[in-house]
C-alpha cells in the first residue's frame, strides 16, 4: 500500500535539495557533526530496524555500510534507506535545520549560502528557513511557512492513556517508534518535559501538535487528572478540525464525557498491541506487509451507529 501523500513540501523540492547537498559536498556528509551524530539528531536510529541481519538496529547497519565498508552511496543512505523524500514535513524540516545549525556549519558565510539556496527551493512550496534564535552571534533557523508560525515539534500521533494501561500502550508505542513514526509518548519525552509547565505543554501537545490522538479509554482513564486534561485539550482541537482527530480505543465500556457515542472505535479486548499498531500505521498511510494488512473498517465497532 502506498503511503498517502500529506507532505506540503513536494518530492520535487526535496529531490532538488538533496541533489544540491550531494553535489556541493561531493557525496560526503556536510558539516562538523559527522555522519552518525548528525543522523541521530533527526532519526531514532537505535529504534529503527536493521536491513542487515548481522545488526540489531539502523545505526549499526548504517555505520557498517557508510563508514566501515563504504559500499552505500550518500544517495543510497538518504533516499533509499532513510526515505528523505517521503518523511513528514516536520522531520524533513529538522533535517534541514540540523544541516544549517551553527554547530554543524560554524562559518557564517557558508551557513548563509546554505540557507540562501535552500530557501530558493522551499519558497516554491510556501516554506522558508527562518531565523528564530542565535548562539554565539550565529543564527539558528527553523522551518516555517512563509508568513506563518514555525512548524514546531509536531507529531503524527499522540497517545493519551492512564498509567494503569501503560503496559499495553508501551507495546504499541515501541512498534510505532520502530517504524519511525513521529509520536508523543510520555516515556520518550522525559528530557523535553523536565522543567516545563506540564499543564501548558500538554495542552499544546494534545490540542494542536498531533495529526491524530489515540485515546485509550478505560475506567482509570475517565477518573485520572492528567488523562482528563489531555482529552479536554484533544476535544478542543477536534471541535475545530474538519477531519477526524480523536481515534478512540476501548479497554472497556466506560462512558467518557464529551466523546460522541457514534464515533467509531477499536475494541482493545479483541486487539493485540501489534494489531492496533498496524491499524495506526494504516491510518497514517504507512506501507505495511500486504499479507498482514488489517481491514480498518471491519475492526470498528458499529454497536452505536444508527444505520
**Average pLDDT of 179-191?**
85
Which of 145, 173, 206 is the endpoint of a domain?
Answer: 145
pLDDT (tens digit per residue) in 252-273: 999 998 888 778 899 999 999 9
Distance (Å) of CA 68 to CA 6, 63, 65, 142, 221: 36, 6, 6, 33, 49
Q: Are residues 59 and 84 in the same domain?
A: yes
Residue 129 forms beta bridges with which residues? Answer: 143
Q: Are residues 139 and 183 in the same domain?
A: no
88 found inside a domain: yes
Identify the weakest region by mean pLDDT among 137-141, 147-151, 153-157: 147-151
Q: Are residues 189 and 294 in the same domain?
A: yes
164 found inside a domain: yes
**Distance separating alpha carbons of residues 148 and 298, to the nearest angstrom:** 40
Q: Are residues 114 and 231 in the same domain?
A: no
Predicted pLDDT at 7: 66
5 found inside a domain: no
Q: Are residues 133 and 160 in the same domain?
A: no
Assess whether pLDDT exceeds 70 at residue 6: no
Which of 145, 170, 203 is the endpoint of a domain?
Answer: 145
Q: Are residues 195 and 288 in the same domain?
A: yes
265 found inside a domain: yes
- Domain with residue 218: its CATH number is 3.40.50.10140
Q: Are residues 167 and 231 in the same domain?
A: yes
pTM, two decimal places: 0.59
Distance (Å) of CA 133 to CA 56, 86, 130, 254, 300: 38, 28, 9, 47, 46
pLDDT (tens digit per residue) in 39-98: 988 887 887 888 888 888 889 999 999 988 888 988 899 999 999 998 888 889 989 999
The total number of structural domains that make up the chain? 2
Which of 96, 118, 145 is the endpoint of a domain?
Answer: 145
- Confidence category of residue 306, pLDDT binned at 50, 70, 90: very low
Q: Are residues 186 and 295 in the same domain?
A: yes
- Residue 17, domain extent: 11-145
**Distance separating alpha carbons of residues 115 and 32, to the nearest angstrom:** 17
Most confident of 21-25, 27-31, 170-174: 170-174
Predicted pLDDT at 96: 94
Q: Are residues 89 and 120 in the same domain?
A: yes
**Average pLDDT of 161-188?**
91
Phi-psi region of 127 (alpha: psi -120 to 50; beta: other; left: phi over 0): beta
Residue 158 forms beta bridges with which residues? Answer: 184, 213
With pLDDT > 90 as the criterion, what percentage of the chain qualifies? 47
How high is the mean pLDDT of the chain?
84
- Confidence category of residue 303, pLDDT binned at 50, 70, 90: very low
21 found inside a domain: yes
Q: Are residues 57 and 84 in the same domain?
A: yes
Assess whether pLDDT exceeds 70 at residue 195: yes
Of 269, 168, 154, 151, nearest to 213 by C-alpha is: 154
92 found inside a domain: yes
Assess whether pLDDT exceeds 50 at residue 294: no
Q: Are residues 110 and 243 in the same domain?
A: no
307 found inside a domain: no
Q: Label residue 176 exposed, middle or buried (CB < 10 Å: 0-12, 13-18, 19+).
A: buried
304 found inside a domain: no
Q: Are residues 98 and 138 in the same domain?
A: yes
Amino acid at each position: 500500500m502506498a503511503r498517502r501523500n500529506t507532505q506540503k513540501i513536494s518530492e520535487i523540492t526535496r529531490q532538488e535539495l538533496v541533489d544540491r547537498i550531494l553535489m556541493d559536498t561531493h557525496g560526503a556528509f556536510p558539516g562538523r557533526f559527522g555522519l552518525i551524530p548528525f543522523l541521530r539528531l533527526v532519526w531514532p536510529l537505535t529504534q529503527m530496524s536493521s536491513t542487515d541481519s548481522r545488526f540489531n538496529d539502523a545505526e549499526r547497519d548504517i555505520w557498517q555500510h557508510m563508514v566501515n565498508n563504504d559500499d552505500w552511496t550518500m544517495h543510497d543512505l538518504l533516499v533509499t534507506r532513510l526515505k528523505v523524500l517521503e518523511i513528514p514535513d516536520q522531520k524533513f524540516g529538522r533535517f534541514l535545520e540540523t544541516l544549517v545549525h551553527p554547530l554543524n556549519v560554524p562559518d557564517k558565510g557558508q551557513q548563509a549560502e546554505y540557507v540562501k539556496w535552500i530557501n530558493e527551493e522551499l519558497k516554491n512550496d510556501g516554506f522558508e528557513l527562518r531565523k528564530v534564535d542565535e548562539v554565539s552571534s550565529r543564527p539558528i533557523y527553523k522551518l516555517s511557512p512563509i508568513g506563518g508560525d514555525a512548524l514546531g515539534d509536531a507529531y503524527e500521533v499522540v497517545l493519551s492513556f492512564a498509567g494503569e494501561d501503560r503496559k499495553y500502550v508501551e507495546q504499541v508505542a515501541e512498534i510505532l517508534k520502530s517504524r519511525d513514526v513521529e509520536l508523543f509518548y510520555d516515556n520518550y519525552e522525559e528530557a523535553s518535559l523536565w522543567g516545563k509547565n506540564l499543564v501548558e505543554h500538554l495542552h499544546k501537545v494534545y490540542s494542536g501538535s498531533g495529526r491524530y490522538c489515540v485515546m485509550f479509554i478505560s475506567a482509570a482513564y475517565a477518573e485520572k487528572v492528567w488523562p482528563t486534561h489531555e482529552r479536554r485539550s484533544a476535544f478542543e482541537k477536534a471541535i475545530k478540525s474538519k477531519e477526524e482527530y480523536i481515534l478512540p480505543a476501548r479497554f472497556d465500556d466506560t462512558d467518557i464525557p464529551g466523546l460522541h457515542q457514534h464515533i467509531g472505535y477499536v475494541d482493545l479486548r479483541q486487539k493485540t498491541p501489534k494489531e492496533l499498531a498496524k491499524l495506526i500505521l494504516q491510518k497514517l498511510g504507512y506501507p505495511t506487509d500486504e499479507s498482514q494488512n488489517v481491514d480498518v473498517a471491519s475492526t470498528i465497532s458499529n454497536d452505536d451507529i444508527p444505520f
